Structure 1
């Protein structure tokens, strides 16, 4: 995609970024309600409507800047409110509610891979734009999934780890939550974030390539 100008890159990435972040948050809301917490549902967040999830800085401005300068695509939506104490089995069910977001990204990556395969089989004016958008969809969903699976609270991976750790260790890990964003920023600026994410990203792309 290096040959695309800025407007073309924005056109290619806009829908995949919005769908990836919206689907991620909506999946948390659906899972939370399934396991007993109606908080997100009552606040109107159990929806695929992007306007209910968009954070104008994290969902729109920051990803656009990342696309413009190239490299790591970073962003977020408004977090779906989940009261883990309302879940039927709070510690156990926290695992599934947290896993729902990355799971949705994996599903969307698969759908974009199938869209890419469809685009390659076409021979018209839509072939190249559809293929480029599908590539963007795979990229953003794989990266968002890998990022959120890092075992750092409040990321999903951190909450999943808290769910399976003994209570004392889970409590100790939870104390990192106020510093989670600063830890991420430090990892990003030192280059360690890419090193931590790359094994999972490569494994996901091997899986997607097998589908093609």
Structure 2
């Protein structure tokens, strides 16, 4: 299959990206509510309405800039506020709230992979619907698996860092939490040295392998990531 045009790439990227980052944040709020903190609910953040989660920089400017520079679109939503003191067991529940976001991405990757399979079944008789469904599904799988893997890095304030904090003894947890000041710098350093891709790629690949239609997804990822054709 040939590379996609600019309009086609935008069409298959926008919806999966918006839902990946908004459902991720809504899942944090939903889990916090279940564990005793209703801050996110009171602020209207336990919702799938993307407008409630959009961050002008992370949801619009950064994805657009990345796409123009690299051909790939990625971003983030406004973090969901959580008052850890309201949780039933703050230290333990912090980890559960953190896991909810990547867990939601894994579920969405599964849903998108099922849509890839459904789209593939339509290719012979309904290609006009099957082709865009397959391409959007592959994009949804890729975005959600990357977002899941990235957020599970054990670097605070990423979700993986919160999970590690919740598992450590109090003294070690307090020392570990001081890394949060340097969290963004650590991620940027990993990105600039190429180590971030080295770390994430196996996690993404293994996750895709266990999903339905994994062969279709693997074969079409190069098409999705290839530069837009004129």
Runs of 4+ in structure 1 deviating by more than 3 angstroms, as ranges, are: 67-74, 209-212
Partner of 1:113: 113
Q: How does 1:142-153 map to 2 (within 5 A)?
A: 142-153=145-156
**What RMSD, in angstroms, separates the aligned Cα atoms of the two structures?**
1.7
Alpha-carbon distance, 1:163 to partner: 0.3
SS of structure 2 residue aligned to 1:47:
coil
Superimposed CA distance per residue, residues 71-90 of structure 1 (whole angstroms, 9 cap, x where no aligned partner): 66541110000111110000
Q: Is the 8 A contact 2:110 2:212 kept in 1?
A: no
SS of structure 1 residue aligned to 2:3:
coil
Alpha-carbon distance, 1:101 to partner: 0.1
2:134 matches 1:131: yes
2:85 matches 1:85: yes
Partner of 2:47: 47
Partner of 1:33: 33
Q: Give unpaired runs (5+ residues) of structure 2.
A: 216-230
Alpha-carbon distance, 1:2 to partner: 6.5
Report 1 or 2 for greater relative contact order, CA contacts < 8 Å, sequence distance ≥ 6: 2
Partner of 1:63: 63
Q: 1:187 to 1:42 in 2, by over 3 A?
A: same
Distance 1:110 1:18 in 2: 17
2:162 matches 1:159: yes
Distance 1:172 1:2 in 2: 51
Q: Give unpaired runs (5+ residues) of structure 1.
A: none
2:201 matches 1:198: yes
Q: 1:8 to 1:72 in 2, by over 3 A?
A: closer
59-68 or 142-151, which deviates more: 59-68
When normalised by structure 1's length, the TM-score is: 0.95
Alpha-carbon distance, 1:202 to partner: 1.5
Distance 1:127 1:198 in 2: 28
Q: Is the 8 A contact 2:114 2:213 kept in 1?
A: no
The one of 176, 179, 184 aligned to 1:176: 179
